[in-house]
C-alpha cells in the first residue's frame, strides 16, 4: 500500500491549473449515454481515472467500439447492446454501478455488476428497490442491496417515484430506466441533486421536463438518441482541493480554467467565499453546461461557517472543506449530511479521525460534525481507501506537513493530483 509524505509549503504560489482532472460525473455519463445513440459520439477530455475508465471498459463489453486517440475518444455503439460473457467491473465507482443498474435493467440479457471491496459494501437498495418496483429483475446480497448484483434485463413499467434521498445517482438510474419504459415516467427529489443527466440527455434529444413542483417527466424516445459531441470540463470537485490550498496558504492564488460552473456543483466555492476567501467566477460558454473559470486567492484567516443547506450541491467537497474549517477562526458545523456515511468511506468518521490525528478538536454527530478551528499538526492519516480523504489531508499538509497512508485510491478520480501538488511543495511517494 503506497503512502505520500507532503512537506509544508514554504513560499506562496500563483498557479494556473490547466491540468485539473476532467469531470468524473460527466465522463461516466459520456461512456454510458453514448450507448443510447445509433451513431458515434465524440468525447474530448474524458477523465482517465480508474472509475471512469471502468465505465468505458463496460461500454466496450456491452458491444461499443472505442477508438481512443488520446485527447479524443470516439464511442460507436452496437446496434443492440450485447450480453457480455464476463462480469462488469465498476471498480470503486458508485456512479458506475448505480447508473449501469438503471441502464441495463431494461435491456434483454444477463449482466453481473461488481466492484472493489469498498463498492461491494455500499448500499445499492436505493436504486435496486425502485427499479425492482417497476419490474426489474435484480438480485444481490441482502436482497439486492450489496454487489455483486445480477440483473436480468427486461421490459420495465412507467413509474411515478418520489425519492427518499436527494441523489443524482438514484435520479439518473431511474431516468435511464424511464427511457425504456412503456409510457412517460415521473420522478421527484426533495432538493435538486446534480443535473448532468437531465442536461446531457436533453442535449441528445430526450424530452425531460421539470414542473413547478419539481416533478421530472421523462418521455421514452421513439428511436435512438443524437450522439454526444462534448468536451468534458474540469471537475470542480477535483479543483476544489487546490481552491482550499489557495484559501489557507498565505499569499497563494489559483486559477482554474475550463471548469463547469453548474450551480449544483460549485456550492463549496460559495462556502469558501463566505468564509472569507476571494473567489471569482467567469462564464465563458454554455455547451450542455455553463463552463468558465474560477479564481481563488488567500484573503487572511478564514472564518468559521455553518453548512446545513444545499448539502447535495457540495457533498463531495465536504472533506476538503473540513480542512479549511480546521484552520478557521471559530467553530464550524456541518449538519444534514448523513449521506457522507455511505460514500467511498464513512466520511464523517474518516474526517473526524483524521482531524483528531492532526490535533483539531471535533464533535461527531450522526449527520455531520463540528470542527473547532485551530492549528493543524503534522500527523499520519489513513485514507481508508477514500480518494477524497487522501487528497484533502495532502492539502492540509501544505500548512504543517503530512503523511498519508493508502494513496492508491487517488487514481480513481485525479491521477495527476500529486504531480500538481509537487509544483507547490515537496512530495514524496
Ligand atoms: C454523483 C453523485 C453524487 C456524488 C458522486 C457522483 C454522480 O452521489 O457524491 O460522487 O455522478 O451522479 P449521490 O448522487 O449518490 O449523492
For ligand 1, say whether the CB of 55 is within 6 Å of any of its atoms.
Answer: no
Residues 324 and 373: beta-carbon distance below 8 Å: no
Q: Is 197 in the pocket of ligand 1 (CB under 6 A)?
A: no
* C-alpha of residue 197 to centroid of ligand 1, in Å: 11
For ligand 1, say whether the CB of 316 is within 6 Å of any of its atoms: yes
Report which ligand 1 atom has the smallest distance to the Cα of 25.
11
Q: Over 80: is that where the pLDDT of 19 sits?
A: yes
- Among protein residues, the one with the nearest Cα to ligand 1's atom 11 is 25
241 has pLDDT over 80: yes
Kindly tell me if the per-residue pLDDT of 401 is higher than 90.
yes
Note the pLDDT of residue 276.
98
Q: Is 392 in the pocket of ligand 1 (CB under 6 A)?
A: no
Q: Provide the pLDDT for residue 386.
A: 98
- Region 167-188: mean pLDDT is 97
Pocket probe mutation, ligand 1, options 29, 315, 388, max atoms within 8 Å of Cβ: 315
pLDDT band for position 266 (cuts 50, 70, 90): very high
Domains 3-22+233-428 and 24-231 share a fold: yes
E-state strands within 154-270: 160-162, 185-188, 207-210, 216-219, 229-231, 253-260
- pLDDT reported for residue 30: 98
Residue 179's pLDDT is: 98
Rounded distance between C-alpha atoms, residue 273 and residue 209, angstroms: 32
Span 385-391, mean pLDDT? 98
Please state the rounded mean pLDDT for residues 61-65: 98
> What's the confidence (pLDDT) of residue 116?
97
Rounded mean pLDDT of 165-180? 97
The share of the chain scoring above pLDDT 90, in percent, equals 99
Sheet holding 229-231, edge to edge: 65-68, 72-76, 41-44, 229-231
> Residue 318's pLDDT is what?
98
Sequence-distant (≥ 6) Cβ neighbours of residue 204 within 8 angstroms: 33, 36, 37, 225, 226, 227, 228
User: Alpha-carbon distance 311 to 100, whole Å?
Assistant: 25
Banded pLDDT at 197 (limits 50, 70, 90): very high
Arithmetic mean of pLDDT over the chain: 97
CATH of 24-231, one of 1.50.10.10, 3.30.360.10, 3.20.20.70, 3.65.10.10: 3.65.10.10
pLDDT at 237: 98
Active site residue 211: no
pLDDT surpassing 80 at residue 1 = no
Residue environment code for 368-378, b if the CB has 16+ CB neighbours within 10 A, otherwise e: bbbbbbeebeb
Cis peptide, bond prior to residue 148, ω within 30 of zero: yes
Tell me which residue of 127, 139, 130, 204 sits closest to 169, measured CA to CA.
127
Residue 12: predicted pLDDT? 94
Q: Where are the domains of the chain?
A: 3-22+233-428, 24-231
CA diameter of the chain = 62
23-41: string of b/e by CB count within 10 Å (b at 16+)? bbbbbbbbbbbbbbbeebb
Q: Are strands 109-114 and 88-89 parallel, antiparallel or unpaired?
A: parallel
Q: How far is the CA of 94 from the centre of ligand 1 (A)?
A: 8
pLDDT at 339: 97
Say if residue 55's pLDDT is above 90.
yes
- The three-state secondary structure class of 204 is coil
In this prediction the pTM is 0.97
Top-level class of domain 3-22+233-428: alpha beta
Q: Which atom of ligand 1 is nearest to the CA of 315?
A: 9
Beta strand 289-297 with 253-260: parallel, antiparallel or unpaired?
A: antiparallel
Query: Looking at residue 44, what is its pLDDT?
Result: 98
Place of cell 493530483: 417
User: In the predicted model, is pLDDT for residue 413 greater than 90?
Assistant: yes
Most ligand 1 atoms within 8 A of CB, residue of 168, 175, 389, 412 to mutate? 168
Determine if ligand 1 sits within 6 Å of the CB of residue 193. yes
Cα separation, 253 vs 16, whole angstroms: 9
Q: Tens digit of pLDDT for each residue in 73-105?
A: 999 999 999 999 999 999 999 999 999 999 999
pLDDT at 344 > cutoff 90: yes
CA of 425 to the centre of ligand 1 (A): 31
- The Cα 82–Cα 220 span in angstroms is 21
pLDDT above 70 covers a percentage of the chain that reads: 100
- Residue 235's pLDDT band (boundaries 50, 70, 90)? very high
Nearest alpha carbon, ligand 1 atom 4: 316
Question: CA angle at residue 226 from 225 to 228, to 5 degrees?
Answer: 115
Ligand 1 close to Cβ of residue 260 (< 6 A): no
Written as nine digits, the cell of 135 is 419490474
- The pLDDT assigned to 91 comes to 98
Catalytic residue among 23, 195, 316, 406: 316
Number of H helices, E strands in the chain: 13, 24
Among the residue ranges 10-19, 201-210, 298-307, the one predicted with the least confidence is 10-19
Q: Summarize the confidence of residues 216-222 as an average pLDDT.
A: 97
What is the predicted pLDDT for the residue at 383?
A: 97
Q: Is the CB of 20 under 6 A from ligand 1?
A: no
Amino acid at each position: 500500500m503506497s503512502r505520500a509524505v507532503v512537506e509544508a509549503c514554504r513560499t506562496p504560489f500563483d498557479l494556473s491549473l490547466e491540468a485539473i482532472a476532467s469531470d468524473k460525473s460527466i465522463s461516466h455519463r459520456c461512456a454510458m449515454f453514448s450507448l443510447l445513440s445509433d451513431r458515434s459520439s465524440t468525447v474530448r477530455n474524458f477523465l482517465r481515472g480508474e472509475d471512469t475508465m471502468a465505465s468505458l471498459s463496460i461500454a466496450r463489453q456491452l458491444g461499443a467500439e472505442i477508438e481512443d486517440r488520446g485527447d479524443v475518444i470516439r464511442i460507436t455503439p452496437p446496434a443492440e447492446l450485447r450480453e457480455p460473457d464476463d462480469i462488469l467491473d465498476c471498480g470503486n465507482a458508485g456512479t458506475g454501478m448505480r447508473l449501469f443498474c438503471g441502464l441495463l435493467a431494461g435491456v434483454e440479457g444477463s449482466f453481473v455488476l461488481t466492484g472493489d471491496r469498498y463498492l461491494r459494501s455500499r448500499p445499492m437498495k436505493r436504486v435496486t428497490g425502485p427499479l425492482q418496483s417497476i419490474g426489474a429483475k435484480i438480485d444481490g446480497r441482502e436482497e439486492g442491496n450489496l454487489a455483486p448484483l445480477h440483473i436480468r434485463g427486461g421490459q420495465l413499467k412507467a413509474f411515478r417515484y418520489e425519492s427518499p434521498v436527494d441523489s443524482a445517482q438514484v435520479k439518473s438510474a431511474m431516468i435511464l430506466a424511464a427511457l425504456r419504459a412503456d409510457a412517460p415516467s415521473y420522478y421527484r427529489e426533495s432538493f435538486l441533486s446534480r443535473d448532468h443527466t437531465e442536461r446531457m440527455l436533453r442535449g441528445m434529444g430526450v424530452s425531460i421536463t421539470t414542473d413547478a413542483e419539481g416533478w421530472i417527466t421523462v418521455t421514452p424516445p421513439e428511436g435512438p438518441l443524437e450522439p454526444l459531441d462534448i468536451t468534458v470540463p474540469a471537475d470542480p470537485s477535483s479543483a476544489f482541493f487546490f481552491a482550499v490550498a489557495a484559501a489557507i496558504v498565505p499569499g497563494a492564488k489559483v486559477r482554474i480554467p475550463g471548469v463547469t460552473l453548474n450551480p449544483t456543483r460549485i456550492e463549496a466555492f460559495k462556502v469558501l467565499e463566505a468564509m472569507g476567501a476571494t473567489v471569482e467566477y467567469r462564464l465563458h460558454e454554455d455547451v450542455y453546461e455553463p463552463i468558465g473559470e474560477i479564481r481563488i486567492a488567500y484573503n487572511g484567516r478564514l472564518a468559521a461557517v455553518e453548512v446545513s443547506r444545499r448539502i447535495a450541491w457540495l457533498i463531495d467537497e465536504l472533506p476538503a472543506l473540513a480542512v479549511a474549517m480546521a484552520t478557521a477562526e471559530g467553530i464550524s458545523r456541518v449538519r444534514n449530511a448523513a449521506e457522507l456515511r455511505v460514500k467511498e468511506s464513512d466520511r464523517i468518521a474518516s474526517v473526524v479521525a483524521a482531524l483528531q490525528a492532526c490535533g483539531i478538536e471535533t464533535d461527531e454527530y450522526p449527520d455531520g460534525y463540528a470542527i473547532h478551528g485551530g492549528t493543524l499538526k503534522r500527523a499520519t492519516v489513513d485514507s481508508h481507501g477514500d480518494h477524497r480523504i487522501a487528497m484533502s489531508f495532502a492539502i492540509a499538509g501544505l500548512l504543517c506537513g503530512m503523511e498519508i497512508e493508502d494513496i492508491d485510491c487517488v487514481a480513481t478520480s485525479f491521477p495527476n493530483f500529486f504531480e500538481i501538488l509537487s509544483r507547490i511543495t515537496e512530495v514524496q511517494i
